[in-house]
Amino acid sequence: MLPLRPWESPEITSWRRLPMHAVDRRPGSICLDGIWRFQLLPAPDAPLADHWSALEVPGVWTMQDAGAPDLPHYTNVTMPWPHHPPASPAANPTGVHERDIDIPADWAGRRIVLQVGAAESVLIVEVDGQAVGIGKDSHLASEFDLTDVVRPGERSTLRLTVVKWSDSSHIEDQDQWWHGGITRSVLLYATDPLHLADVAVRAGRDGALRIDCRVRRPGGALPPGWFVSGELEGWGELAQDTAFDAAMRDDERVSEFLGEARLSATVTGVRPWSAETPALHRLTVRLHRADGTVADRSRHRIGFRDIEIRGRDLLVNGERVFIRGVNRHDFHPLTGRTLTVEEMRADLATVKRFGFNAVRTSHYPNDPALLDLADELGLYVVDEADIESHDHAHEIADDPRYLPAFVDRVSRMVLRDRNHPSVVVWSLGNESDYGANHDAAAGWLRRHDPTRPLQYEGAAKTDWSSTRIASDIVCPMYASLDEIVAHARSGTQTKPLILCEYSHAMGNSNGTLADHWAAIESTPGLQGGFIWELWDHGILQRLSDGRPAGRAGAGAYADGVAGEGHRWAYGGDFGDTPNDGAFCADGLLFPDRTPKPAMYEHRELAAPLRLSYDGRTVTVHNHQHFRDLSWLTAEWLLSCEDGGEATAPAALPALPPGGCAELAVPAELTTAPPADGGETWLTLRVTTAADETWAARGTEICTPQIRLRERGTVPFDTTPAPGRIEVDDDGLLLHPLLTAPPVLNLWRAPTDNDLLGGAADLWRELGLDAPVRKPLSVSREGAKVSVRSAYDTGAGTVVHEQVLTPVQDGLLIEERAVLPDGLSDVARVGSVFETVPGLDRIEWYGQGPWESYPDRRSAPVGRYGADVDALVTPYLRPQESGGRHGVRGFSLRPADGGPGLAVRLDSPRQVGVGRYRDKDLADAAHHDELVPRPCPVVRIDAAHRGLGTASCGPDTLPPYLVGAGTYTWSWVLRSL
């Protein structure tokens, strides 16, 4: 019989579950994935019905149409129900999964094991009505010995019952969608009764190799004369070094005899593994009977590398490396948590292409296939245990009822993943306060694996300088730039500082990323961090019935946009209460894996090479830790403000890591100044020279840029020209190309950072979202018209002046706005107007091609073009987007190239063009609620507030705030 109500008792953690190990049993196994019989019960004790529906396994029932009324539920901190630990609600969805399994006849006499890759949150296993065992921990595999309950050559019925809520849910309170079901593959495999129970590999960069093997034989003594051997690809055979006496282990399940053996060698000429040079070697470990025949084997891909902390530096192979990391959940918009290996490979390849070298498995061990890929592609991994008690953190941290679960989850993660070279740091979990349970888990971990450091943000939260904590790394969460720099300069720092979360990527965000990395790269003691997070957790939802689209929704989205009849759902869209709204939409990728503009910002900041220019010489710098530049190729791109462009090949020097050298620039790119005195920029487009495991040949890696020539002091011709300017009675410009005249703009459709950081509430209180314009005066002096207006706000009156003058270039518009002292923080100061319909194509000279803002501006300057509709960035909740920073001028024309208008700016400005007014965006909760306007809306900003990351973390820095004072800007409008 099963233990009484296992979903309510923290002490019941692994009844009849086999110990965790690092032997990969996927090869040769029988995969039980596919369609299973399924029933969803309202509670674990509810009786089964006569009717079964069908459910795909792996897969959560919350995302499938299987007669299941239970839908996804999103919360960040608050549990979905009010019960205190360890209690769970009586209304507890319970999924019963059932299928028949045929046991191969040739498995007679072998040990037969069931592996369930992951299930949320309590797994109960039965075979032919006989209880086999239970498993807890929603993100690690559970294995069960079925040898005594199945018969080779016969058919059995396997039932997997998954209880959604349990005592364990209180320590799986991550910022996530709550689901229920089996989320990773189900396997059946067989071994010889004499088998490799575990294999532990240690491989140092000096070639020292040690392999510790555990051998088991259930139900009988180990046979005399058994031994192990090994083979390392490219090196040869490894002989058994040490065999230990067998020892008997008794427990309530079965008598097992254990044996241990060790293989060791010093391998010469190894190439160390690192994220830049992920050299792997194939290792085969064999277990032999006394007659030499092979009873079992285990295959591994190992990397030789060292991880250590020296002083306040984390070292990889003796080198201090910058950690350019991203936090990653298991997530898919159609399946919830289930991903294929191909999807995981594509995700990690994207991570690599955008300059990341590290992943934190927030906040649980990821699928083991992901670590295989990290080993292969080259990524440093912070492997995090499935422990987060956010809503009840303080009470659980010291609760002895949860002590077994803490140690169990940490130890099982380590036992599974310790042979992966990509795993460089262990994490005890996330946002669970700090208590005796953490110290106990840390004690086990330090004893078992002294080769890697461990971290836990909660341990160091109150004292970054303490040495008596369960964290070898100070890993703060959303600390300000001032705080981390001050700590590094304080003289009290004792550990590396690597932020476990920073730069919250919710909506239009990730401002000041460049400022962070400028400080990190120039401040000893600061070593990097992990951006939160990789992707938006939007679920594709059918508008027809409000349910998840499920696998049938494949193809219903593209380039971040949900297709017709669908939308990206977030908290509350499935009737889930309580919920945390769009807070799950906080990734660098859209749910469909389309990169957001902030990804390109990171790519440029993490570039493997940089350029510097002293007015005469261009110097290239290799910013890698272990790799030279031979894997890269490049070409020069010259871009002139007057429209001139040219290209030429670039010969990258053979630079070692950290080296620099002069980079020759072809003379034809530097000797021809533009005719109009405008700027010239020289961009080095860097691409892969050959295929990489994560990028095809020719993939763009970065675009570092230098300015060869600055802009002239007068960017346009201000010579007066004859003509008459038409204005209405209030002084508003009447122009044949405009349907709404240029007026002062002090507001933007609030970003998620604006809303959650409080700025949006302030702006509304001040009336900046709908200021009333009051004309003060209109005067003429020859052809020139001067207009003064007042905009009343809750902090005083803003006086705005426009001077309109016909000039040779067109119509010169000179503007001035004076903001009173009470307006210390506004969204923007600039002009907004609307054009005639049909101007659907934009070309601009400025930063691009991707979206950019004053505190997220690593996009290169050049000449770009796009459809107006394509400029908007479809963040899941509509908000300010699509801006381009540093724009010198732009034009709008019909798609067929007919007549249009052009604007030239007095200096580089923030420009936005789109189909929506700010109020349209602000009033919409989803993009399907928006109706594009036929007339493009144009915004030209003298100043625009930075984006920051205030939805969770610091706001933008003071230099990017827009406050009181006088602002001037001018621009020329002309017909084309």
**Contact in structure between 853 and 827 (CB atoms under 8 Å):** no
Q: Cβ distance 385 to 441 under 8 Å?
A: yes
Q: Is 741 helix (H, G, I), strand (E, B) or coil?
A: strand
The CA dihedral of 261, 264, 270, 275, to the nearest 10 degrees, is: 40
339 Cβ partners below 8 Å, 6+ apart? Answer: 330, 331, 332, 347, 367
Annotate 387-439 with DSSP letters as a single string: -B-GGGHHHHHT-GGGHHHHHHHHHHHHHHHTT-TTEEEEE--SS----HHHH
Collapsing DSSP states into helix, strand and coil, what is residue 816?
Answer: strand
For 820, the token pair is: 């009173």
What would the mean pLDDT of 456-477 be, rounded to a whole number? 95
Q: How many percent of the chain have pLDDT more than 70?
A: 97
The CA-based dihedral angle spanning residues 604, 605, 606, 610, taken in that order and rounded to the nearest 10 degrees: 80
Tell me how far apart the alpha carbons of residues 344 and 101 are, in angstroms, rounded to a whole number: 29
User: 535 pairs with which residues across the strands?
Assistant: 589
Question: Looking at residue 69, what is its pLDDT?
Answer: 87
Residue-wise burial string across 36-45, b where 16 or more C-beta atoms lie within 10 A, e elsewhere: bebbbbeebe
DSSP readout, 485-538? HHHHTSS---S-EEEEEES--SSS--TTHHHHHHHHHHSTTEEEEEES-SB--P
Burial class from Cβ neighbours inside 10 Å (0-12, 13-18, 19+) for residue 782 reads exposed
pLDDT mean over 729-756? 97
Q: What is the mean pLDDT of the chain?
A: 94
Question: In this predicted model, what pLDDT tens digit does every residue of 231-273 receive, in sequence order?
Answer: 999 888 887 766 554 443 444 334 456 799 999 999 999 999 9
Rounded Cα gap, residues 519 and 912, in angstroms: 30
State how far the Cα of 76 lies from the Cα of 430, in Å rounded to an integer: 13
What tens digit of pLDDT does each residue of 600-616 get? 999 999 999 999 999 89
Half-sphere exposure of 642 (CA within 13 A, CB side): 14
Asked if 476 and 457 count as a contact pair (C-beta separation under 8 A), the reply is: yes
Pick from 179, 175, 253, 170: nearest CA to 216: 253
Q: What is the pLDDT of residue 56?
A: 97
Query: Which whole-number Å values give the CA distances from 829 to 418, 701, 742, 970, in the listed order?
Result: 55, 35, 13, 13
Residue type at 906 in one-letter notation: D
Tell whether the model's pLDDT for residue 576 goes beyond 50.
yes
pLDDT of residue 251: 40
Q: What is the DSSP string of 176-232?
A: EEE--EE-S-EEEEEE-SSEEEEEEEEE-TTSEEEEEEEEEEETSPPPTT-EEEEEE
Q: Name the 3-class secondary structure at 136.
A: strand
Angle at 810 between CA 806 and CA 812, to 5 degrees: 60
pLDDT of residue 125: 97
Q: Are 592 and 557 in contact (CB under 8 A)?
A: yes
DSSP string, 895-924: TT--S-EEEEEEEEEEEEEES--HHHHHH-
**Residue 4 pLDDT exceeds 80:** no
Could you give the CA distance from residue 817 to residue 525 in angstroms, rounded to a whole number? 44
Task: Report the alpha-carbon distance of residue 902 to residue 890 in Å, rounded.
Answer: 6
pLDDT of 718? 86
675 pLDDT higher than 60: no
Question: Is the peptide bond prior to 483 cis by the omega test (within 30 degrees of 0)?
Answer: no
Distance of CA 407 to the CA centre of its chain: 28
In single-letter form, the type of residue at position 462 comes to T
Asked which of 148-157, 238-247, 371-380, 424-433 is least confident by mean pLDDT, the reply is: 238-247
Average pLDDT over residues 657-680: 83
User: Would residue 590 be called left, alpha or beta, if left means φ above 0 and alpha means ψ between -120 and 50 degrees?
Assistant: beta
Rounded Cα distance between 762 and 307, Å, is 48
Three-state DSSP state, 26 = coil
User: Among the residues of 285-366, which ranges form H helices?
Assistant: 341-353
Flag the least confident range among 234-238, 460-464, 713-717: 713-717
Residue 797, number of CB atoms within 10 A of its CB: 15
Q: What percent of the chain lies above the pLDDT cut of 90?
A: 89
- Please tell me the predicted confidence (pLDDT) of residue 711: 84
Structure tokens at 374: 């990290």
Joined tokens for residue 110? 């072998």
Q: Please give the average per-residue pLDDT across 906-933, as a whole number.
A: 97
- Quick one: average pLDDT of 512-535? 98
Provide the strand spans (E) within 735-783.
738-745, 772-781
Place of tokens 């209690």: 87
pLDDT at res. 672:
61
843-892 tens-digit pLDDT: 999 999 999 999 999 999 999 999 999 999 999 999 999 999 999 999 99
Residue 362 has pLDDT above 90, yes or no: yes
**Maximum separation of any 2 CA atoms in the chain, in Å:** 110
CA distance 247 to 694: 46
> Is 868 within 8 Å of 892 (Cβ atoms)?
yes
Mean pLDDT of 43-71: 92
629 Cβ partners below 8 Å, 6+ apart? 608, 609, 620, 622, 652, 653, 654, 655
What six digits make up the tokens of 680? 């010239």
